[in-house]
Each structure stands twice: as C-alpha cells, then as structure tokens.
Amino acid sequence: MKTYFYAKAITYQNILDLIASYTLDFPDTETGGDIFGFWTHTGCPIVQVITGPGENAHRSVVSFHQDINYLKSIHAVLHERHGMQHLGAWHSHHILDLAKPSGYDIETAIAGLHQSNLERLFIIISNIREERIDINGFLFRQKEKVPYIPLPWIVSHHENPYYADKALDELIKAPVTDEIKSILVTNFSF
C-alpha cells in the first residue's frame, strides 16, 4: 500500500466559509455543490472555486443530487475562462454524526472514477456541530486498496482572485446564510 504523507488539500479561507454558509442554509437536509480548481503534480487538489446547489438540485435528509445543467454551465465557464478542472463535489451531512463518506458516498465516488476513467476525485463533507462547522476532505484514487484517504488542509488567508470574476457572480448563487459559526477544519490521522 502506498503512503500519502505528502497529501494535502489546498484552498482559500473563503472557500471554507462558503461551504459553512451553504451548509447552514439547509440545517436539516443534505446540501452540496461542486469543486473546481487544479491538481498538483503529486495529485493533491487545489480548490479555487466551489458552488452551492443549483436551482433544480434534489435533497433529502440523507442525500443530495446536484442540478446537472447548473454544474455543466459553471464548469464550461470556469474551464474556458480559467482552465479549471472539475475536482469533485462537496455535500453536507448536516447534523448527522458522520464526518466521513457514507457507504453510498464511497460507492458513488468509485463508480464515478471508473465510469469517467478518472485517476482521482476529491470529496468534501461538512457537518453542523454545536458551536462550529466541521469540513473534511477525502481523496479517492483508482486502483487503491483503500477507497479514500483523508486530507489535511493548507488554508490561504489571502484574497481569492477567482471570485472577482463578474461572470461567476452571475452564475453562482450566493448562500443565504451570511453569519457563520466558527469553522473547525478537522484533520484526520491515518
């Protein structure tokens, strides 16, 4: 088995703030969105932009399904304007006590890797806790013995330049919740 001690997820603080806000918009059901950015030469995700749910997304207490037309339209703009790749998806497990991918999440991610012939996929899970939002990242890779590895975060507190793109303002619906709880980014050991 390979070891991935070098593996980290890299992002901006505003990305984590957005995930927390979107999560609080739907405290009793799963919600989510998509993750865009780049991969490092070692296969680590650099998260530059995330979306929330599209207008026609479907959610329940235990599932979230993104609006596919919304995903495609945003991906087209981000790829054309910034060369970004679709890295994966994020979703909340709201108040469920599950801070990692569920069995269904694992099956869906592995099927997505094989169907799309992708090498890797990045999934983020958020949870509402009493005084915080937990946000955890997981890297899925094809041909591995374990379905995923948890990734610790490297977080930049500089301004994220991609959100200055006016085309994104028109496409990405902002979360309703603007006052967020403090965020605890959990780093799992493995």
Q: Check which CATH number belongs to the domain holding 17 and give it.
A: 3.40.140.10
Residue 117, SS3 per DSSP: coil
Query: Is 139 domain-assigned?
Result: yes
Query: Is 79 domain-assigned?
Result: yes
In this prediction, residue 184 carries a pLDDT of 58
Q: pTM for the whole thing? A: 0.90
Query: Is 77 domain-assigned?
Result: yes
Total of domains in the chain: 1
Phi, psi of 67 (to 5 degrees): -70, 110
Q: How far is CA 180 from CA 14, 20, 25, 72, 184, in A?
A: 12, 7, 10, 28, 12
In this prediction, residue 189 carries a pLDDT of 37
Query: Is 188 domain-assigned?
Result: no
In this prediction, residue 90 carries a pLDDT of 96
Query: Is 128 domain-assigned?
Result: yes
> What's the domain range around 77?
9-182
Query: Is 165 domain-assigned?
Result: yes
Query: Is 1 domain-assigned?
Result: no
Q: Could you report the average pLDDT of every consecutive run of 10 residues in the chain (190 residues)?
A: 68 92 92 96 95 92 90 93 95 84 90 89 92 91 86 92 85 82 51
Query: Is 4 domain-assigned?
Result: no
In this prediction, residue 1 carries a pLDDT of 40
66: CB partners within 8 A, 6+ apart: 32, 33, 34, 53, 54, 57, 89
